Copies of this chain bind each other. A is one copy, B any other.
Amino acid sequence: MMESESVRMTAPADDVFQRDCAGRDILDHVTSRWATLILASLVAGPHRFSELNAKIGGISEKMLSQNLRTLVRDGLVKRTVTPTVPPQVSYSHTPLGADLTVQLWGLVSWIGNHTNDILEAQVRHDAATIQP
């Protein structure tokens, strides 16, 4: 096999290619649209549920609630209850979640910068003869 010209990286740990690698489920899950946007929102600091709901266009309360529960269970988001009247609940990154978000950020920024490249590639592809 020829070595790729354009990317110089060590081959990944073999286990990510194995059918039963637990990391695959975590990958699916942290890169889901809503989990990514929640983690990205929290870069700006702690948010209340209603603030997240307002910030992330198109998310339903049900999906926001489900995703927050999952992120809290994963140890990526911390849920803090302040005993005011009424109690205030806020969500913030755990150190693990902040660390993951740095990685996600690189990816989200790349996509932000290259969305047009990909849309243009799709147009070029569709305009060309369909490959068998």
Q: What is the interface of chain A, defined by CB distance below 8 A to chain B?
A: 1-4, 6-7, 9, 11-13, 15-20, 22-24, 26-28, 30-33, 36-37, 40-47, 51, 55-58, 72-76, 79, 92-93, 95-96, 98-112, 114-115, 117-122, 124-126, 131
What residues of B have a CB within 8 angstroms of the CB of A117 in the complex? Answer: 75, 96
Instruction: Tell me the nearest residue of chain B to A39, going by C-beta.
Output: B7
Is A43 in contact with B4, judged by CB distance below 8 angstroms? Answer: yes
| A interface secondary structure, majority | helix
What residues of B have a CB within 8 angstroms of the CB of A6 in the complex? Answer: 93, 95, 98-99
Complex A-B: 9 CB contacts under 8 Å: A9-B105, A12-B40, A15-B112, A17-B41, A22-B119, A73-B122, A75-B118, A75-B121, A103-B110
